[in-house]
Structures are given as C-alpha cells and as structure tokens.
Amino acid sequence: MQSYTTCKHPNIKKRGIISNPSAMLSAMHTRLFPKLKARYTVLIYMVGSDLETNYEMASGDIREMMEIGSSWGIHIVLETGGAKKWGLDFIPSDRKCRWLVQRGHLQLLQETGNANMDMAETLGDFITWGIQQYPAENYVLILWGHGLGPIDGFGGDEHHGNHKMKLVTLQNALQRAYQVTQTTFRIIGFDACNMAGLEIVYALRHYAEYLVASVDYTNHNGWDYKTIIESLRQMPALTAPKLGEIIVNSYRLHSREHGELQDLQQGVIRLDKAERIVHAVEAWSQVLLERIASEDSFDLMRNDRTRCEDYAEETDMVDLADLSGHFGRSFGCMQETHTIQEAIEDAVIYHMKTPEHPKAKGISIYFPKQDQERFIEKSMIYQHHDFSVSYKKLIDLYSLIMIKKDYNGIYHHMK
C-alpha cells in the first residue's frame, strides 16, 4: 500500500531504520485488524473546489489532520476531489482518492475515478464504504467545501461545472448510505458557510443526532482539525455534545489566531428537535397566510425583513427567531412566535457568536431579500424541499408578489 509524505512532516524510510514507529504500528493495526470496532470513525468528504485551487485551504486543513492522525480506536478517513489543483502535490487533481490520515502522512486506500462529488451517488458511496471498512461505536461525517444554504447547497466540484449539491441531493445521499448500512452519525458537521438553516436541520434529522454548522460565513482557516482529533484521542469517553462544543470553541480560537475576530458563529443543534421547530413554523405560517390579504401586508413584511439579523446576501438566509419576532408583532401571531423561539432554544444546545450578532440564536431560514433576479428560480427549488407546506407556500407567494411589485409596478392579489 502506497503512502505519501509532506515536507512539513517527513517520514523518511531508510534500510533498517523506522523513522515514524507510531505511524507504522497504527498502519499495521489497520491491516491486521480492519474489522475491529474503533471508538470513533470520522469520515471527511472534502470537495476541494476553487477554495483549494486558488487558496490551498483544503491542503492547509489536511496538514492539520496529519499533525495527529489516526490512532488505535480513532480512524480519520478522508476523500479528496473536486479541485483542479492541490497544494499538496501528491494528491492528484484528475481523480478522487480515499486516504487514512496518519501522523505525518496520508495512507492511500483507494482511487475512485473522477465522478462528480456534487452527486448523491458519490457521497453515498463514500459513506457506505467508510462505515463498512472502518466499523466504530461512533461515526462523525464532516462535509468540507462551499456552503450556500438550503437552496444552492454544498460542495462545488470544479471538474463538473461547480454546480453544488442541492439539499434534496444531500438527503438522497444519506438515505442511500443508510439503506445499506443501517447506521447513523453522532454528528454531521459542515466545515462550510451558511449550513445551519432549519431546512437543513430538518433534512438531516433521520441521519444524525447533532448538526455542527454556522448560520454565517466560515472563515478561511476553517475548523481546527488538530484540536478535534487530539481531543478524540485524549478523551476516550468523549460524547457527541462535548465533541460538538470542542469543534465550536476550537474554531473560535483558531480563527482568532489567524486574525479573524468578527462574524464568528458556530453551533451545535439537536436534530431530534427538528420536527418540533418545523411544526411550530407550520402553525405560524398558516396564520401569516391568513393575514396577508393586501399589498400593504407584503410591504410590511418586506420592511420587517430588512430589520432582521441576516447572513450572506447571496443566500438570503435570516435568523429564524428574529424573523418570527418581527412578523409576530406585525401580524398578531406572537403565541406562534413564542412557540418557535422556545423550540429553537431547546434545539440549539451550544452557540458561539461574536458581539456584532446580538440577535442571533443559531438557526436560520430562507426568506427572500437581496437576490431579486433569482426569487422565482429559488422559490421553485424551495418547493422541492421536505419542509413545512405552509411556509413553502408563503415563500412562493411572497416571491411572486415582490417580483411583480418591483418589476411591473403593479400588485396582483394571488390566492
């Protein structure tokens, strides 16, 4: 089995000399006892995208992983692809590769062609293979790449048009893997921007216990993989909530070490609470649909939207607790609003934010504001989500009205 080294962590092998005995023992253990259950298997699906081609961000994170690497009881399994060029020159750009991350080097496990990493089949196959090859008591899935919220999705394979994986595609990938393995994750985490939306929380609810993600941008330094892997190695009884907290706190410190002091958000969300929030959103949306019977109602709604805590103009994501509060006061549905806010508080078990986000509560939702040219297109995509029926209807109606008001100067009452 071929192994690779980097100049940062040399693993030079000379005749009669073992330069890295701990890595050799770990690799030997993997070959001799591949089916023994580890405590944790961490699967990292790394869609390098232009983040790697232009900035070598993925390579930087891989170097962090190799500072600790896998150990007895901890498997760190990585799939790379989706970038036209890799900063680590031993990672090929023309095909996907699967690696076991060792201390000081990557151990090549498999080369799998150049399939589109934004497709359900590709992600689903990696998850299935990883679970079958590296059985464990606990599984973590980390999705690395661009994050554009529930509509434009995750990933960005440069070899296949950089289209991103839509939310329904991601859901399909997880479903495919689950049907084969009957295994769920302790944590699904996004080392990506804008992926803590309620739509995403709800879509993942059957496949993991916790989501670790940000409602906002994720800084270029990304997660602190050295601290994450070292914590798994040092604390045998580490629980998923505690691991989530470590991911969040280490990201904050890691960002500050790289000079990033603002727009830091990251949270840990209980996915078994997703249905409670969505049921509350459904009841709230039903009231709103009953009460927006005039042009003035939509103007009020648009004005409220501009005052909300929101994130990333291209995604049109807004803090759900704040949005529900504004609409609740304007449309007389504060009882439904309080139900939403209580459900969010129950679901978000840990939330880190910097002071410029005082109203942020850790879960966002799509509501159109900036990207007017795509209001209708985005609404059409949104209707395919497994989500609140009444909220989807509200988004569709609002998008249509805003387009007609802004571009035609007329109001059409729509049933």
* DSSP structure string for 173-204: HHHHHHHHH---EEEEEEESSS--BHHHHHHT
pLDDT of residue 80: 99
* Average pLDDT for 376-393: 98
pLDDT of residue 312: 81
Give pLDDT tens digits for 18-56.
334 444 545 555 555 556 899 999 999 999 999 999 999
* Average pLDDT for 253-276: 96
Average pLDDT, the chain: 91
Predicted TM-score (pTM) of the model is 0.91
What are residue 44's DSSP bridge partners? 78, 142
The domain defined by 3-9+23-273 folds into Rossmann fold (3.40.50)
SS in 3 state form for 256-296?
Answer: HHCCCCCCCEEEEEEHHHHHHHHHHHHHHHHHHHHHCCCHH
Residue ranges matching CATH 3.40.50.11970 in the chain: 3-9+23-273
- pLDDT of 294 > 90? The answer is no
State how far the Cα of 132 lies from the Cα of 121, in Å rounded to an integer. Answer: 16
* Average pLDDT for 317-337: 98
Check if the beta carbon of residue 209 is closer than 8 Å to that of residue 183: no
Q: How far does Cα 57 stand from its chain's mean position?
A: 16
The residue among 147, 133, 69 whose CA lies nearest residue 314 is 147
pLDDT of residue 405: 72
pLDDT of residue 225: 99
The percent of residues in the chain predicted with pLDDT above 90, rounded, is 82
What contacts 24+ positions apart, CB below 8 Å, involve 341-347? 343/273, 343/276, 343/277, 343/280, 344/277, 344/320, 346/270, 346/273, 346/276, 347/201, 347/269, 347/270, 347/273, 347/274, 347/276, 347/277
State the maximum Cα–Cα separation within the chain, in Å, rounded to a whole number: 83
More confident residue, 351 or 297: 351
Give pLDDT tens digits for 98-110.
999 999 999 999 9
pLDDT of residue 291: 86
Would you place residue 296 in the very low, low, confident or very high pLDDT band (cuts 50, 70, 90)? confident
